[in-house]
Structure formats: C-alpha cells, structure tokens
Chains A and B, each alone.
Chain A
Amino acid sequence: MSDFSPLDAVDRKIIDTLQGGFPLSPTPYADAAVALDISEQELLARLQRLLAEGILTRFGPLFQIERCGGAFVLAALAVPDADWERVCRTVNDFPEVAHNYRRTHSLNMWFVLATETPEGIGEVISRIEAATGLPVHAFPKEREYFVEMKLPARERPNE
C-alpha cells in the first residue's frame, strides 16, 4: 500500500501548506508559489506529478454537501470474502459513493454516501442492497464534535 514514490522536502511543504487556503486570486498558483519559494511552473509541474502518482487524490474545493441541502452518510457492509470483488465493483460503481475503505471487522466495507438531497440517501441504500444482495448498515452522524482532515506529511519509513 505504500508503493508511492518518495516525497522530497518541497513536495512535503506543498502538501502541508496547501491543504487549505488556496488563494482566490486571478493567479492563485503564482501567488501560492511565492509563499512556497518556488516558481509557478514548478508548483504546477509538482501538483501534476503528485496527482498523477495518486499522492494527492484531488486538488480543489472540498464541498460540504449538507450545507448545500444534501446529505453524507457513513454506511457499512459485511461482505463475504468469496464475493468481495463483485461487491466492491458494484458499490464503487455508484457515483454517490464518495469513498470506500476495507476495514478489519466483520463489517469489512465502510463507505460514505453523498447525495444532493437527504431523501437520496434512503434511495441509494435501497439500490445498493438490491445490487449487492447484502443489508446496508447506515450510521448517519447525530453530532459532529470535530472535523479537521489536515495532516502534516511525514517521512515514510522507506525514505
């Protein structure tokens, strides 16, 4: 799972500095590059590489769909090993599945559903149950105590 090419100090600085606060100016890459002490061209080339290699999954706005009238729900399935590949493909094919992780538990597939309306959640859960033949366990959040998914890039053990 860590078949990623090594990050150098500049990559790490880009990742650490740009996990938020990207400028809303006409030339945001040039402006961000000044703060990083590199050229605009270098920043663009490095972002292209980090995205191509999957080190960044995206570069852009992170939307909070609930504030736009939609809904996010965490859901889980207990997928039999023998059926893993089929269920994984089936679930990932739903555009409403924003991310999906395999986890160590009998509930071994955990995914987040994002829909444009709250009613959409129940509907997509029904469709996933029909397509997989498995019951979906839904864990809607009742309260959010904290969310801040910003992690400083670390040196990996193989570097």
Chain B
Amino acid sequence: MNEFERALILATQAGLPLVARPYAALAESLGCSEHAVIAGLQNMLASGRIRRIGAVPNHYAIGYTANGMTVWDVDDDEVDELGLRVGQLPFVTHCYRRPRSLPAWPYNLFAMVHGASQDEVRAHMTSIRSLLGTACRADDVLFSTAILKKTGLRLAA
C-alpha cells in the first residue's frame, strides 16, 4: 500500500461524501485530481484491496433479525473440502476454518447464517449438518443479541 492509497483509505473509511461529485470532493481534500481518486479506487478494487463499494446495511434493519454464528467440529482431513461446500450454500454469508481452542472450544469450521428468525437459522443448520455427515462431531450456534459496534476498519490518521 503506497502513501496515496493509505490517504484514500483514510479519506473514505467513514464513507463517501454524499455530494453530486464525491470523487472530486475527495480530490480537493487530498490535493490531487478527480481522475487520480477514481483511478486509485479502481486499482484497489481490481486488486481486491477494496472488496466492493456501496451500501453497508445493518442486517437487523433489513429484516435479518436472527444472526447465527454456526460452529462445527469437523474432521481435519475433510474440513477443507466440506468447508468449500458449506460456503456454497445460499444462506451462508461467511465461511472460514479457524483454530480450535481446546478444551473450551472444539470447533474449527465457522459459517455465518442470517435469517428472519432463530427457527429459520436452525432449519438451515439441519442442512449443514446433513452435508457434513459423520465428519462432524459437534456443533453449536451463537446468536447475536446486540450489535455493540460496527464502524468497520479505521486506520489511525
């Protein structure tokens, strides 16, 4: 990441200006051209340093009142193949392999499932459970009961 890209992150991490020419407004505060801002964001998008540009909704506000972090203890030899398949399920928004923290935490596969109710999330878990089959020894679901903070990334200026 070069200095200009870092400056672009700092200038946009709280959001884009809500004005007709937001990139020109950013350019003015960064002391560069509108074209440089657009090209810089385009580069970061193309290289995956920006995942996407747009609206970040509060999922409670758009009807997903049940947010379940489903966690699974899956055989180490099978977890990569199965994790990829769990990630393809339409109701899974994030799916990762993470280290266990034994004895308190036996789970190595995390799949985030959003639904309109806890029952809907539990029904989706049934599908995941049958996909994992005997490779899965235990599972749990941790529902979120409050968003305590959701600012996203914040670099220090």
Which residues of A line the B interface, CB within 8 A? 1-2, 4, 7, 12, 14-15, 18-22, 24-30, 40, 44, 47-48, 50-51, 53-65, 67-69, 74, 88, 91-92, 95-107, 109-111, 114, 116, 137, 139-151, 153-157
Contacts of B41 in A (CB 8 A): 24, 61
Interface string of B40-51 (1 = CB under 8 A from A): 011011011111
State whether A59 touches B16 (Cβ < 8 A).
yes
Q: Least Cβ distance of A52 to chain B in Å? A: 11
* B78, CB-defined interface residue at 8 Å: no
Q: Least Cβ distance of B31 to chain A in Å? A: 18
Bound form: Cα–Cα A67–B76 in Å:
27
Interface string of B89-100 (1 = CB under 8 A from A): 000111111110
| Interface residue tally for chain B (C-beta within 8 Å) | 78
User: Which of A48, A99, A102, A143 touches B96 (beta carbons < 8 Å)?
Assistant: A143
Bound form: Cα–Cα A44–B15 in Å:
13
Contacts of B34 in A (CB 8 A): 26
State whether A62 touches B145 (Cβ < 8 A).
no
State whether B9 touches A63 (Cβ < 8 A).
yes
State whether B5 touches A27 (Cβ < 8 A).
no
Which residues of B line the A interface, CB within 8 A? 1, 5, 9, 12-16, 18-24, 34, 38, 41-42, 44-45, 47-65, 67, 69, 80, 83-84, 86-88, 92-99, 101, 104-105, 110, 114, 116, 140, 142-156
Bound form: Cα–Cα A64–B47 in Å:
10
State whether B50 touches A63 (Cβ < 8 A).
yes
Q: Least Cβ distance of A41 to chain B in Å? A: 9
State whether A58 touches B14 (Cβ < 8 A).
yes
User: Which of A14, A26, A63, A102 touches B55 (beta carbons < 8 Å)?
Assistant: A14
State whether A61 touches B143 (Cβ < 8 A).
no
Given the interface contacts A29-B20, A29-B22, A153-B63, does A98 sit within 8 Å of B154 by beta carbon? yes
Given the interface contacts A59-B55, A68-B49, does A104 sit within 8 Å of B20 by beta carbon? no
State whether B149 touches A97 (Cβ < 8 A).
yes
Closest to A102 in B: B146
Enumerate the 4 nearest inter-chain pairs by beta-carbon distance, A residue then B residue, closest first. Answer: A146-B87, A154-B63, A20-B52, A145-B87
